Amino acid sequence: MLVMGILNLTPDSFADGGRHNSFEAGVARGLEMIAEGVDIIDIGGESTRPGADRVSADEEQARVLPVIKELAKSGVKISIDTMRADTAEKAVQAGAAIINDVSGGLSDPAMFATVKKLGVAYILMHWRGQSKDMNSRAVYSDVVTDVISELNSQIDAALDAGINKSQIIIDPGLGFAKDAEHNWEILRNLKAFTELGYPVLIGASRKRFLGGDNPDE
């Protein structure tokens, strides 16, 4: 198991919005996480919390690229959290080794071609739409079966676009178009996701549903 530290360079992220949204604060927090032993630092410049507004590509890149370039000097593996192919490519050029796309390739039609060209690892997350309306889409017949089916559809699209299977990491997208019970049901059934044959990323840290009771307790 690897541990990913999350570095939000935004003023409006759910857990830490505004705390690290300067170059100096972002680099300092990244170095702290390295000292704490993280294996990967995931750097994002656009909040994906429910209800968040999109920011421009220029603003996103101005936030993340200098910090990526500086932290890459330490040798830590860096992931860029973006739905934009252009931001992903520039981040890899700055030193990122992983593209973390919360839209699973659905937001930017150029993403899969960019991932193929760059040849880096690609985190493909289950996604049902932009932050503004994701909560209204948290309707499933069976959340585990439905999420796996939708993930498989995007995996197939990625493979058809020429992305190598070895590049793909899947993320069931806890908190994205899912209510608390959906999230717990996914966590109870992680084996169903690992059996798909890809590494699995779980982004549960500081998600709102963890503040409530586990339905099994």
What's the pLDDT at 17? 54
Q: pTM for this one?
A: 0.89
- Rounded to whole angstroms, the Cα distance separating 202 from 173 reads 8
- Of 75, 89, 127, 131, whose CA–CA distance to 106 is shortest? 127
Q: CA dist 31 to 5, 96, 169, Å?
A: 11, 15, 25
Cβ-contact 158, 122 below 8 angstroms: yes
- Of 124, 114, 31, whose CA–CA distance to 78 is shortest? 31
The helix (run of H) or strand (run of E) holding residue 28 is helix 23-36
Q: Helix, strand, or coil here: 77?
A: strand
What's the pLDDT at 209? 46
- Rounded to whole angstroms, the Cα distance separating 61 from 168 reads 24
pLDDT in 10s for each residue of the chain, 217 residues: 999 999 999 885 555 556 667 899 999 999 999 999 999 999 999 987 766 778 999 999 999 999 999 999 999 999 999 999 999 999 999 999 999 999 999 999 999 999 999 999 999 999 997 766 777 889 999 999 999 999 999 999 999 999 999 999 999 999 999 999 999 999 999 999 999 999 999 987 655 545 555 444 4
What's the pLDDT at 206? 54
Q: Catalogue all structural domains in the chain, each as residue range(s) with its CATH number.
A: 4-210 (3.20.20.20)
- Rounded to whole angstroms, the Cα distance separating 129 from 143 reads 16
